[in-house]
Amino acid sequence: MKLLKFGAVAFIVLTTLAGARCGGGATSANTPAITDVAVSVGIKYTNEPETVLETVASSSRIIYVSAEVTNPTKSTEVKVAWYKLPNQPIATETFSGKRGSSGNQLDFDYKRTTSWLASQVERPGLSWTIGEYRVEVYLDGQSAKTVFFNVVSDSDADKLTASKAIQSVLFSDAIDDNNQLVDSARTTFARSTPTLYIQVKLGAVPAGTSVEAGVRYVKTGLSINTFTAVATGNDTLLFPLPLERFGRLWSDKLWPIGSFQVITKINGVIGKTSTFLIEDQPRV
């Protein structure tokens, strides 16, 4: 973990995104199967999803459903059927496994033991209809996998992304030699605490993501400081609030009694709000 200095740019952890994904159990050897299905708005050259999603912004141009086909044969056929719930058909696509010979790069390849296909549906107008969607994947005429996803407004999608990106906001009045919080379960501190530490742990965020942590005194609304960082490394953020610097905001040079609010933002969108408390005789 890096201890961040004021005005410095921090580097933060990137972890794996979780989303709408339908994985399979064990399959018999050499038996054709659909072993994984995922929703995304971008695919790799292999037709695997770039980022697995459960929620899609209404302005997304294309929505993909990628399906992993294992042990296909020359006659293996996969059909993907899209529905807007409760049961409104949207589109149906059929894949024959002839990616190499047909020139359809979104098809799977029956000559490979494991291969991906990608079914795609383009936005029907200016935006997708908000609501829940279902996609059925059939293997040789038999239902193999079902996956669900939600379409929400762009603003709601941003809020969901931000809320998932901030895994936790923790506080302490001490750190160890590895810049790890000591007793991170505490939320109340004394007025004379030399330094308060704020730890922001992120989940999965793309490199270049802007992160903010603003601190304010709730009673008066006074903004104490706003820390900024850019997601591009493998660190959890640690922000120090030394009394030597910020105590000057009050006449007695001590933290004032009351609540302090920490508002974290991802690309300007609030992800999580947490508070700590200053008391004359703090609880431990």
Note the pTM of the prediction, 2 decimals.
0.60
pLDDT in tens, 189-239: 999 999 999 999 887 677 788 889 999 999 999 999 999 988 765 468 889
Cα-Cα-Cα-Cα dihedral sign, residues 235, 162, 62, 71: positive
CATH of domain 2-14+159-279: 2.60.40.1930
What are the structure tokens assigned to 126, written together?
């200016």
| Cα distance between residue 256 and residue 249, in whole Å | 10
Q: What contacts 251, CB < 8 A, 6 or more positions away?
A: none
Residues 31-152, CATH architecture: Sandwich (2.60)
Q: Give CA separation, 72 vs 13, 100, 118, 183, 254, in Å.
A: 38, 14, 16, 54, 70
**Between these two residues, 25 and 117, which has the higher pLDDT value?**
117
Identify which has the larger pLDDT, 16 or 98: 98
pLDDT tier for residue 4 given thresholds of 50, 70 and 90: very low
DSSP output for 127-139: SPPSEEEEEEEEE
Question: CATH 2.60.40.1930: which residues of the chain?
Answer: 2-14+159-279
Phi, psi (deg, nearest 5) at residue 244: -55, -35
Quote the pLDDT of residue 5: 40
8-state DSSP, 41:
S
Asked whether residue 14 carries a pLDDT value surpassing 70, the answer given is no
CA 4, 178, 171, 257 dihedral sign is negative
